[in-house]
Amino acid sequence: MQRYFLNADGVLNQHYQIIDKDDIHHIKNVMRQNLNDQFIVNFDNAVMVGKITEIADTITFHTIEQLDIQTELPVQVTIASGLLKNDKYEWMIQKATELGASKFIPFISDRTIIKVDDKKMHKKIERFEKIVKEAAEQSYRQVIPNIEFVKNSKALVEKIQSFDHVFIAYEEVAKSGETKSFVNALNSVEQGQSICIIFGPEGGLSEQEVAMFGGQTIGLGPRILRAETAPLYALSAMSYQLELK
């Protein structure tokens, strides 16, 4: 059953409207739904089944059932990653959303290749938000990951102070042959905590950045991963450690 997000608290046996143009187009023209068809709605406080009661410029639906489901990771994982060239960052956030990331912090690292100004970055963020929303709907997420751009590594340092854990994916750890740092780091994580994992762009993080961030450096296995692959590896490992074992 198709899933949509509505920024409101849901109550059973009440009527609501979907006003988002992309969602309306998807319901009408992609899914070709009709009166009395059903879909799942992620409200701010609950997940419910809605039955369509009117199709016009907006979609009106009636909540008929509350669902008791849990599709989120037991911890809140933020991926702070240096911006990547071409469409690699878009691909990464799409897949990372499917794997359970709760927030993305793109930043300009010392070794970031691409150049962006404020106007271009605003448009990029709008596109990123659309990508993660669609990925969250497709993967039956209960929340849409937030995206917050920071201009440089120094600004990122301020953002990471509030996390329970900060891990830095550093390729020099992997090159040294160390394979237990990530496992050991995850063993210290408790359910409900917030984690920020920092990844570099193409070329990785500089030594100065690693020292500046001050978190725990981790390796992601014996192989050196591409910048767009490393966050997905980390999220998969966390899912296994925290959800599947």
Task: Name the nearest CA neighbour of 46 among 63, 61, 27.
Answer: 63
The pLDDT assigned to 29 comes to 94
The SS3 of residue 39 is strand
The model's pLDDT over 60-98, given as tens digits with 9 standing for 90+, comes to: 999 999 999 899 999 999 999 999 988 999 999 999 999
The pLDDT assigned to 245 comes to 74
The pLDDT assigned to 120 comes to 84
The pLDDT assigned to 178 comes to 66
Global pTM value = 0.90
The pLDDT assigned to 134 comes to 95
The pLDDT assigned to 224 comes to 85
CA 206-212-218 angle, 5° bins: 65
Q: Measured between alpha carbons, how far is 19 from 23 in angstroms, rounded to an integer?
A: 8
CB atoms within 10 A of CB 52: 18
The pLDDT assigned to 176 comes to 65
List domains and CATH numbers for the chain: 3-67 (2.40.240.20), 76-244 (3.40.1280.10)
The model's pLDDT over 186-218, given as tens digits with 9 standing for 90+, comes to: 999 999 999 999 999 998 999 999 999 998 999
Tell me which residues of the chain have a pLDDT lower than 70: 174-179
DSSP 172-238: HHHHTT--SHHHHHHHT--TT-EEEEEE--TT---HHHHHHH-SEEE--SSSPPPTTTHHHHHHHHH
